[in-house]
Structure 1
Amino acid sequence: MRGRPASGDGRYDGAVAAVQQPGTEQGRPVVALIASMVLGAGYGLCVAYGLTEVAALAPAHRLARLTSSFWTPAYLGFLAPYVITLCTGLFAPPTILIGAAVLAVSTLVLITYRGTGQAHGN
């Protein structure tokens, strides 16, 4: 793959490189290993925090149900890299990145709004 544009025509090379696993295309497995460790640690911390919050918020008789409700979207979230990979055949990489950014910002706004409403007693 060396010497060949990632997107076929060279227009989206930077965006394609950002979507692909860092380091694997360029033959730098150390970079890919470090990126995998950082992403894995991030996933682990998010799951641990989420489960801690569920345990703190749930009454004892509803803990199992709320824990399973937490794991459902968590497992769906683990599918995100696969979905992004599937989308690369349908959309240009910048479109995929913009869509992911819109979803991330929308989630941030929703969570912030709901958290602010609960803090004020709404």
Structure 2
Amino acid sequence: MKGRDPMELDEEFMPEIYTLEDEEGNSLTFELLDTLELDDERYFALMPYFESAEEMIDDDGELVILKEEIVDGESMMASIDDDEEYDRVGAIMLERISKLFDDEDEEEE
């Protein structure tokens, strides 16, 4: 039986990592957790991404919800300025992510 080359990582297990610039010009790294198409808009649920376990433990784990905007023909992630829209999309994303992790827990049992 031939083993799998450990250097060949399954793309299914590779996180999608994005480095975004905040309004003050700081670069922040995030892992994409989910995307949502709603009312002809595209939304992204992201969590801060850290290289080390210590950094991850120190973080508050805040979920970040961004919206796709097209600027000069290019897709960009942008803040959601409307509080009602943010709350509505955030609630849907939290429910989807909770279900995703609940499903993973059930598979492990």
State the TM bucket, normalised to the shorter chain.
0.3 to 0.5
With normalisation by structure 2, the TM-score equals: 0.36
Structure with the largest fraction of strand? 2
Between structure 1 and structure 2, the one with the greater Rg is 1
